C-alpha cells in the first residue's frame, strides 16, 4: 500500500512501500481533527501549496466538505491527493452504515476516498461487524480504494478474521515516544497492516521534555521535527495537525538532520505505555 505524497499507484504491498527513508519524500500527512470548519479550507489550501498530499479527516471532525472544496479550488488533480476519512458509529444495518459512508463522499464532492476507516472499536462486536461489512461493500463498489480501522486493539483485528476475509490495510493509532503501542504494532506488522500515527506531536505537550529538548538542541532543529522524524524512522505515517502556516511548513519538512541510533534509543526509552497517551484508548473495548 502506497501512502506517500507522490501520485503513484497504490500497490498491494504494505510496509516495503513506505518510503520514509527517502529524504525528499517525507510521508507526513495533515491531520484535521479540531481544525474548525471556518478555517479548514484555508489550511488545506496552504498545505497543498506547501506540498502536503495526504489528508486525514473524519465524519466526526465536521470538516469533510471544506477539505473537498479546498482540493477542487486548488486545481490539483484528485488522483494526486490521498484522502482518508472515518465513520464512528454504526447505523443499525449494513445498508444504513454504507449510506452514511457514501454521505462522506458526497460531502467531499469526490467519487472515492483513498482510505476509509472505522474510527473506533467502541460499538461492540455487532457494530464493528456492521461497519466492517459496510466498508467492504463500499470498497467493492469503488467508493474506497482501501479500508481500515483506527484505535483497534489486537483482539478487534483478530475478530475481523472470524467473519471476513478482507483484512484492514491500516490501523490508525496514537503513537509517539511516550505511547508506542508495542503489542498492537507487532500484531499489525505480522498482519501486514500499515500504521498511521495520530497525535504524533503529543499535542505539543512534551516540547519542554529534557530528553527531547536536548536532542533537538544538539541537532539544531525543533522538537516537533525530532518527533516526526522518529515516527518516520519507525516506518509509521505521522499525521500532525496544524492550522498555522508557519507550523504547517515546519511539520512538512523534516529533513536537514539525522537521528542517530543513540537518539532513537533515548526516545524509545521514553515509552510509558497507555499512561503516555493523550487520547483515551479503546484498544480493550468489549
Ligand atoms: N483516529 C483517531 O481517533 C484520532 C485521534 C486523534 C487524532 N487523530 C488524527 O491525528 C491528527 C493529529 O493528532 P492531534 O491533532 O491529536 O495532535 P498533534 O498533531 O500531535 O498536535 C496538534 C497540536 O499541536 C500544535 N502544533 C502543530 N504543529 C506544531 C508545531 N510545529 N509547534 C508547536 N505546536 C504545533 C497544533 O496547534 P496549531 O493548529 O495551532 O498549530 C495542535 O494544537 C488529528 O488532526 C487527526 O487527523 C486521529
Residue 113 belongs to some domain of the structure: yes
Answer whether residue 2 shows pLDDT above 90: no
Q: Which domain holds residue 118?
A: 15-276
Q: How far is it, in rounded angstroms, from Cα 129 to Cα 149?
A: 12
In tens, the pLDDT along 24-67 reads 345 899 999 999 999 999 999 999 999 999 999 999 999 999 99
Answer whether residue 185 shows pLDDT above 50: yes
Residue 7 belongs to some domain of the structure: no
Residue 282 belongs to some domain of the structure: no
Q: Which of 29, 153, 201 gets mutated to test ligand 1 (max ligand atoms within 8 A of its CB)?
A: 201
| Ligand 1 nearest-atom number relative to CA 247 | 31
CB under 6 Å to ligand 1: residues?
31-34, 56, 119, 150-151, 172, 198-204, 224, 239-244, 247, 250-251, 279
Q: Residue 107 corresponds to which cell in the numbers above?
A: 460531502
In the structure, what pLDDT confidence band is assigned to residue 128 with cuts at 50, 70 and 90? very high
Answer whether residue 221 shows pLDDT above 70: yes
| Ligand 1 nearest-atom number relative to CA 120 | 3
Active-site annotation holds for 61: yes
Catalytic hit among 33, 52, 60, 61: 61
Percent of the chain whose pLDDT exceeds 70: 91
In tens, the pLDDT along 233-286 reads 999 999 999 999 999 999 999 988 999 999 999 999 999 999 999 999 999 999
Residue 284 belongs to some domain of the structure: no
Residue 3 belongs to some domain of the structure: no
Amino acid 26: pLDDT: 52
Q: Which of 173, 241, 250, 254 gets mutated to test ligand 1 (max ligand atoms within 8 A of its CB)?
A: 241
Residue nearest to ligand 1 atom 29, measured at CA: 247
Answer whether residue 17 shows pLDDT above 80: no
d(CA 256, ligand 1 centre) in Å? 22
Answer whether residue 10 shows pLDDT above 70: no
In the predicted model, what is the mean pLDDT of residues 64-84? 97
Answer whether residue 200 shows pLDDT above 70: yes
Which residue in 138, 84, 93, 148 sits closest to 113, CA to CA?
Answer: 84
Class of residue 79 by CB neighbours under 10 A (exposed 0-12, middle 13-18, buried 19+): exposed
Amino acid 255: pLDDT: 83
Residue 1 belongs to some domain of the structure: no
Residue 206 belongs to some domain of the structure: yes
Q: What mean pLDDT, rounded, does the chain reach?
A: 92
Residue 5 belongs to some domain of the structure: no
d(CA 34, ligand 1 centre) in Å? 8
In the predicted model, what is the mean pLDDT of residues 108-132? 98
What CATH number is associated with residue 36?
3.20.20.100
Number of domains comprising the chain? 1
Class of residue 223 by CB neighbours under 10 A (exposed 0-12, middle 13-18, buried 19+): buried
Start-to-end CA distance of the chain, whole Å, equals 30
Handedness of CA 247, 249, 250, 251 (dihedral sign): positive
In the predicted model, what is the mean pLDDT of residues 222-226? 98
Amino acid at each position: 500500500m502506497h501512502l506517500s505524497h507522490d501520485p503513484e499507484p497504490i500497490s498491494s504491498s504494505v510496509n516495503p512501500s513506505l518510503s520514509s527513508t527517502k529524504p525528499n519524500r517525507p510521508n507526513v500527512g495533515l491531520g484535521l481533527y479540531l481544525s474548525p470548519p471556518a478555517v479548514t479550507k484555508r489550511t488545506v489550501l496552504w498545505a497543498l501549496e506547501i506540498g502536503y498530499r495526504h489528508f486525514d479527516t473524519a465524519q466526526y471532525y465536521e470538516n469533510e466538505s471544506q477539505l473537498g472544496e479546498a482540493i477542487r479550488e486548488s486545481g490539483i488533480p484528485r488522483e494526486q491527493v490521498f484522502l482518508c476519512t472515518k465513520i464512528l458509529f454504526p447505523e443499525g444495518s449494513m445498508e444504513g452504515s454504507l449510506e452514511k459512508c457514501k454521505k462522506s463522499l458526497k460531502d467531499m464532492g469526490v467519487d472515492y476516498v483513498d482510505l476509509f476507516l472505522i474510527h473506533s472499536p467502541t460499538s461492540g462486536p455487532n457494530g464493528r461487524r456492521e461497519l466492517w461489512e459496510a466498508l467492504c461493500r463500499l470498497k467493492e463498489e469503488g467508493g474506497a480504494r482501501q479500508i481500515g480501522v483506527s484505535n483497534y486493539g489486537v483482539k478487534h483485528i483478530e475478530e475481523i478474521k472470524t467473519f471476513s476475509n478482507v483484512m484492514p490495510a491500516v490501523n490508525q493509532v496514537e503513537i509517539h515516544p511516550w505511547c508506542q503501542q508495542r503489542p498492537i504494532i507487532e500484531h499489525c506488522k505480522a498482519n501486514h497492516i500499515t500504521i498511521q500515527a495520530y497525535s504524533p506531536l503529543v499535542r505539543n505537550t512534551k516540547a519542554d521534555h529534557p530528553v527531547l529538548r536536548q536532542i533537538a538542541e544538539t541537532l539544531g532543529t525543533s522538537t516537533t521535527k525530532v518527533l516526526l522524524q522518529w515516527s518516520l524512522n519507525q516506518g509509521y505515517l505521522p499525521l500532525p495537525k496544524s492550522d498555522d502556516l508557519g507550523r504547517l511548513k515546519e511539520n512538512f519538512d523534516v529533513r536537514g538532520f539525522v537521528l542517530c541510533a543513540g537518539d532513537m534509543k533515548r526516545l524509545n526509552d521514553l515509552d510509558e505505555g497507555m499512561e503516555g497517551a493523550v487520547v483515551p484508548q479503546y484498544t480493550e473495548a468489549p
